[in-house]
Amino acid sequence: MKNILLYENTRFWRSLKNIVVLLGYVGLLVGIIVYNTIQDNKYWRNQTSFYGHERNAINNIISGVEGQAQIAKDNDPDDIETHKEFERQYDFYRWQYLYSYQQMCMARHFHPEEAVERLQLTLERDRHMLQGLEKGYELLDHTQEEVKQRIAITEYILDKGITPLNSPHEMTATNFLTQLLTYPWILAILITIALLSIDIFSGDAEGGAYKNLYSQPLSRGKIYASKYLVRLFYSFIAIMGITALVFGLLALFKGMGSVNYPIPFAEASFHSLENTGTLTFLPWSQYILKALPLVCLTALFAMLLIGTASLLLNNTGNALNASFCILVLDFLARTLFPAESIFYMFWPLTAANTYDLLQGTYRFSALAYIILLSLSVLILYIGGALVLRKRDLTGGVES
C-alpha cells in the first residue's frame, strides 16, 4: 500500500501536465483579478450613464403627472382630493429626480473617501422610493421587495461601520474569494480539478505502468482507492495553496475587506440549508460556510466524473474530449433552460452556481443538491471500482 501511495505521489508532482495545469490555474486567477479590476475602473462611468437615463425617465414621468393633473383641474376643478393626490405624486417624483441627480453627480466625481456619504445618499433615496411604492406609485422597474432588501443591506453596512466596497468588482481579498466561489468563476476550480484527474487511469495504460501497478500484492479495490485518495488530497492541497497565496497577496496590496460584508440575495428569498425567515442577506463569512460544502462536493463530483471517463475510455485524449463536451453541455443548458426547468433538478453541476442555489432560484434546496451530489459521487466511485475489478488488463474479462 505504501508503495502505491509513493508512486502516485511521485506521479502527481513530477507530471509536466500537472505543473502546466497548476500554472494555468494561477493564470485563471490572475485573469479573474484583471477582469474585475477593469470592471471596477469602468463601474462609475457606467453608473453615471445609468443615473442619467433614470433621471430622464423620471422626468418623463413628472411630465405625465403634470399633464394628468392639468386635465383633472380642467375637468373637475372642485375635486380637491384628486388635486392633492397629484401634488403628492409630483412631490414624490420630483424628490426622486433630485436624488437621482445627486447620485449621478457623485458617480461622475466619485472618490473612495466619499463611499460612506454615497451609501447614506443611497439609503435616503431608497427610503423615499419605498414610501412612494407603498402608496402605489410606480417607479420604473423597482419593486418594494427589492428596495426593502437594499435598505436592509445598506443599514447593516452603516450600522456595523463596514467600509463599503468602491464597486461590486473591487478586488479586496474577501471579495475575490466570494467571486471565485460563484458561477462562472468557479469553473476555474472545476476545470483544474478535472484536468488534474484526466489521466488518473488512462495515463497508466498509455505509459505501460499498469503492468507493474496491478502486479502488486494488493487488491484492485485498494489500488483504486489509493489513486483517488492521493489525487484528491494533492489536487485540493495545490488548489487551496495557490488560492490562499493569491488571497494573501490581495490582502497585502488591496486590503483584506470585511468578513462581515453582506452578500445580497435581492431577487428571491433565501431558503436552502436552513429556514431563515425574512433574512435577505448573509455576512461574507456565513456565505462561505454555506457555499463550501457545495463547492467541495461539486469539485469531488468533477474529479470522479473525469476519473471514470479516464477509466472507461482508457485514453487521455478521449477523456479530455468528454470533459469538454460536459462543459459545453453545462454552458448550453444554463443558456437555454430557465431556472425553473426540470433539467436543473437532476443535473449535478447545477450546484456550481452556489449563489443562485443558496438564494433559492432553483426548485431544489441546497440540501437536496448536497444529497444529489453525494449519491452521484458514490455511484461513480462504486461503478468505477466494479469496472476495474472486472477488467482483464490483458484484453479480456477477469474470471
**pLDDT value of residue 129:** 94
pLDDT at 259: 87
Q: Environment class of residue 201 by beta-carbon count within 10 Å: exposed (0-12), middle (13-18) or buried (19+)?
A: buried
Q: Where are the domains of the chain?
A: 43-160, 172-390
Q: What is the pLDDT of residue 345?
A: 87
**Overall average pLDDT of the 131-136 stretch:** 92
Per the model's pLDDT, the better-predicted residue between 76 and 265 turns out to be 76
| Region 28-48 average pLDDT | 93
Give percent above pLDDT 70 in the chain: 91
Report pLDDT for 265: 58
The whole-number average pLDDT for the span 328-338 is 89
Find out whether 221 and 389 touch, Cβ atoms under 8 Å: yes
Q: Taking the model in full, what pTM does it have? A: 0.84
152 vs 380, more confident = 380
Which H or E run includes 52?
helix 16-75
Q: Supply 112's cell numbers.
A: 473612495
Asked whether the predicted pLDDT for residue 287 surpasses 90, the reply is no
Band (pLDDT 50/70/90 cuts) for residue 277 is very low
Indicate the range of 205-214, 221-230, 312-321 predicted with least confidence: 205-214
Asked if 270 contacts 292 with a C-beta cutoff of 8 angstroms, the reply is no
**Is the bond preceding 184 in cis, omega lying within 30 degrees of 0?**
yes
Core vs surface per residue 241-251: b (16+ CB within 10 A) or e: ebbeebbeebe
Residues 6+ apart with CB under 8 A from 303: 193, 194, 196, 197, 228, 231, 232, 235
pLDDT of 274 over the 50 cut: no
> Residue 281: which H helix or E strand, with range?
strand 281-283
pLDDT at res. 394: 53
**pLDDT bucket at 398, cuts 50 / 70 / 90:** very low
Assess whether pLDDT exceeds 50 at residue 266. no
What is the overall mean pLDDT for the chain?
A: 86
Confidence class of residue 275 from pLDDT cuts 50, 70 and 90? very low
DSSP codes of every residue in 212-245: HHTTSSS-HHHHHHHHHHHHHHHHHHHHHHHHHH
Spatial contact of 383 and 375, defined as CB atoms under 8 Å apart: no
pLDDT tens sequence across 300-312 = 999 999 999 999 9
pLDDT of residue 132: 93
What pLDDT is recorded for position 251? 94
Measure CA 102 to chain center: 32
* Helical (H) or strand (E) element with 283: strand 281-283
What does the pLDDT look like over 80-115, one tens digit per residue?
A: 888 898 999 999 999 999 999 999 998 888 888 888
Does the pLDDT of residue 271 top 70, yes or no?
no
Average pLDDT over residues 12-39: 94
Which amino acid makes up residue 349? Answer: L
Q: Give yes or no for residue 79 having a pLDDT over 90.
A: no
